Amino acid sequence: MDKYFEMIRIRFLMMLAYRTNYYTGILIYSINIGAYYFLWSAIYGSKEHIVGLSMTQMTTYVAVSWMARAFYFNNLDREMAVEIMDGRVAIELIRPYNYLGMKTMQGLGEGVFRLFFFSAPGLIIVYFIFPIQFTWDPSVWGLFAISILLSFLINTELNLLTGITTFFLYNNSGLIRAKRVVIDLFSGLLLPISFFPGWAQEVMKFLPFQGISYFPSMIVTKGFSHHQALEAILQQFVWVILLFLPIQLLWYFAKKQLIIQGG
Amino acid sequence: MENVMEVKDLRKEFKAYSSRTGLKGAFRDLLTRNYKVIPAVNDINFSVRKGEMVGYIGENGAGKSTTIKMLTGILTPTSGSIIVNGMNPHKEREKFVQTIGVVFGQRSQLWWDIAVQESFRLLKKVYKVSDADYNNHMGHVIRTLDIEPLLDKPVRKLSLGQRMRCELAAALIHNPPLLFLDEPTIGLDVLVKLKIRDFLKEINEKYQTTILLTTHDLSDIEALCERVILLDEGSVIYDGALKNLQEKWSEGKELKFQFLEKVDITAVKVLTSELPVKWELEEKEQVFTATVEDSGELISQVIAKVVAAYKIKDIKINETSTEEIIRNIYEKGAV
């Protein structure tokens, strides 16, 4: 396990190696939250509630989902694609560790870094500018913590799946981009799932995406009852396990048909 | 001595896709594609004993890198068997790679954005090297390769030669009994090359490290390897001592003369007419080249006759270089 923790540390160092990226990151997240805040206040107009969410809840929802995104979001699929396309994956395979496990750990290192040095300061800035209401109930934050850890796992698993397809497709940048849009839309980042038409909500129940952003954000904004929150976490957990299987299967075939590109 | 590497009927095939011509062809390619199965490595056999330094040479695209990638467990062979360090590299990859070190000259295994020592630290954890072993072994490696002052610099700021020395050190962190070097001296200057060669010789003697080396720089092979394996179009065409190859293929010696005064080539030919000598004249530089068999007696006679007749500016005696030998073999495609 030691080596996997060391990898988290290395990822920290790599994030710190480029300071400008770090500062602009905070800025971009704040701007995003601001943009969505103004968009939603125009939509709400004089209405108190839309689909059971008040304007303050909505603002909090937007702020929390963007900050949670900083934690679960990573570019592992693109990194894998680049490593496979230029053949650097060869180097990864001569080391005594599990490639996918190590990638997950890199993603986690990046996520933890962003959570503490990106989300937390960003959230403080946002808290003073926009009308956001946080609960101080520790059990809610406890459930949130479990929930975003599971969101991270679901999102990372989807990224690994997309990344592995590079072994078969050699160039899958289209797929990566499509996956990103699908996740932003269906995970409830842009629009809470409860705003979708009824039939779409039904379909979503059978997809893993709402476990990425909608569940944790609803838990913090108290859009979910305690019981609903537990159910949501259970559902996330099931998806983490279900997505594990196709990854193992694809990885098995990927290794067989691996070609190191570029000598 | 035990064998550390056994390769039997090893084969790797790739599918090579070809595009059809024209717009119509491009549309047809969307549905079905033409491909040919090309064997990159074609049923090769060899074994390597512990402590050997073997040069694995061949033209570009002969299948060297593909073989190395199969031997290190990166690629799955199409057929055939490989046993390295008593394991099947591909099947037991994670356990197996613990026992080998690899340097790919064209790729870096250090992390680009962080200091060299951070990469070392991570690799130390990855290979589960104890502090005592690390200090003892790596202290020596770092001193010999002279990379102490580079340790706190990020890799992207190192020159190629500096980086290569760090790469070599990184591959040796766990002091592996078997080392694969895929073009480790590519693009390096003479001094760095010499340093790396000396270092490789040293670890080979000290730890009995087995080394498999591919390179296009035959002087590396001459300096390090007693044995070479020659590969051509995926097949082994020679496997044996480098010395035998040189003896068998060397085409005698060349004596190069330059004279002070102007000399006619026919006059020189007449002078040595009773000896088995072939003369050639390079017009521009006025260099007269005599090709003779490699016998001390004959060479002395030729020189004696020429020197007696003309005033000499310069004489050189050249052996057929390994490079020429290998070039001849590549051209003929067989030994």
Residue B39 lies in a domain: yes
User: Domain limits at B313?
Assistant: 252-319
Domain count, chain A: 1
Q: What is the CATH number of the domain that holds B226?
A: 3.40.50.300
Amino acid at B310: Y
The predicted-structure confidence for A77-105, as pLDDT tens digits, reads as follows 999 999 888 888 889 889 998 899 999 99
Residue B83 lies in a domain: yes
Instruction: Say yes or no: B243 and B284 in one domain.
Output: no
Instruction: Say yes or no: B56 and B181 in one domain.
Output: yes
pLDDT given for residue B334 in this prediction: 65
- Which residue numbers in chain B have pLDDT < 50? none
Percent of chain A with pLDDT over 90: 33
CB atoms near residue B334 (< 10 Å) = 9
pLDDT given for residue A263 in this prediction: 52
pLDDT given for residue B192 in this prediction: 87
The predicted-structure confidence for B208-258, as pLDDT tens digits, reads as follows 999 999 988 888 888 899 899 988 888 998 899 988 887 777 767 888 888
Instruction: Say yes or no: B155 and B301 in one domain.
Output: no
Domain count, chain B: 2
Instruction: Say yes or no: B178 and B29 in one domain.
Output: yes
Residue B213 lies in a domain: yes
Task: Show Cβ contacts of residue A113 under 8 Å, excluding neighbours closer than 6 positions.
Answer: A11, A12, A15
Q: Does the distance separating the beta carbons of A259 and B126 come in below 8 Å?
A: no
Q: What is the rounded (10 degree) CA torsion for B168, B169, B170, B176?
A: 90
- pLDDT exceeds cutoff 70 at A169: yes
Q: Which residues pair with B102 in a beta bridge?
A: B180
Instruction: Say yes or no: B162 and B291 in one domain.
Output: no
Residue A262 lies in a domain: no
- pLDDT exceeds cutoff 70 at A255: yes
Q: How far apart are CA A250 and CA B279, in angstroms?
A: 67
Residue B145 lies in a domain: yes
CB atoms near residue A159 (< 10 Å) = 26
Instruction: Say yes or no: B18 and B72 in one domain.
Output: yes
Q: Does the distance separating the beta carbons of B97 and A94 come in below 8 Å?
A: yes
Instruction: Say yes or no: B273 and B308 in one domain.
Output: yes
Residue B280 lies in a domain: yes
Helix axes A19-44, A2-17, angle to 10 degrees: 80
Q: Does the distance separating the beta carbons of B107 and A87 come in below 8 Å?
A: yes
Q: Does the distance separating the beta carbons of B100 and A3 come in below 8 Å?
A: no
pLDDT given for residue B335 in this prediction: 62
Amino acid at B51: G
| A200, HSE (Cβ side, Cα atoms, 13 Å) | 13
- pLDDT exceeds cutoff 80 at A234: yes
Residue A263 lies in a domain: no
Considering only CA atoms, which of A220, A184, A263 is closest in space to residue A61?
A220
Q: Interface of chain B against chain A, CB under 8 Å?
A: 14, 65, 69, 72-76, 90, 93-95, 97-98, 100, 102, 104, 106-109, 111, 113-114, 118, 121-123, 125-128, 154
Q: What is the CATH number of the domain that holds B293?
A: 3.30.70.1150
Which of B247, B273, B288 marks a domain boundary?
B247
pLDDT given for residue B232 in this prediction: 87
Q: A29: left (phi > 0), else alpha (psi -120 to 50), else beta?
A: alpha
Asked if B47 contacts B240 with a C-beta cutoff of 8 angstroms, the reply is: no
Considering only CA atoms, which of A219, A251, A220 is closest in space to residue A235?
A219
Tell me which residues of chain A, numbers 44 to 73, contact chain B at a CB-CB cutoff of 8 Å.
none
Residue B325 lies in a domain: no
Which of B228, B247, B266 marks a domain boundary?
B247
Residue of A nearest to B16 (CA): A259
pLDDT given for residue B203 in this prediction: 92
pLDDT top residue among A211 and B255: A211
pLDDT given for residue B262 in this prediction: 83
Instruction: Say yes or no: B207 and B297 in one domain.
Output: no
Instruction: Say yes or no: B299 and B168 in one domain.
Output: no
Asked if B163 contacts B155 with a C-beta cutoff of 8 angstroms, the reply is: yes
pLDDT given for residue A166 in this prediction: 87
User: Phi and psi for B225 in degrees, rounded to 5?
Assistant: -105, 135
User: Domain limits at A248?
Assistant: 2-256
pLDDT given for residue A2 in this prediction: 81
Instruction: Say yes or no: B185 and B272 in one domain.
Output: no
Instruction: Say yes or no: B207 and B273 in one domain.
Output: no
Per-residue confidence at A115, pLDDT binned at 50, 70, 90? confident
pLDDT given for residue B177 in this prediction: 93
Residue B153 lies in a domain: yes
Residue A93 lies in a domain: yes
Residue B328 lies in a domain: no
pTM > 0.90:
no
Instruction: Say yes or no: B124 and B179 in one domain.
Output: yes
Per-residue confidence at A261, pLDDT binned at 50, 70, 90? low
Residue A24 lies in a domain: yes
Interface pTM, i.e. ipTM: 0.79
- Within an 8 Å CB–CB cutoff, is residue A18 touching chain B? yes
Q: How far apart are CA A19 and CA B180, in angstroms?
A: 37
Task: Show Cβ contacts of residue B21 under 8 Å, excluding neighbours closer than 6 positions.
Answer: none
The predicted-structure confidence for A174-203, as pLDDT tens digits, reads as follows 999 999 999 988 998 888 888 889 999 999
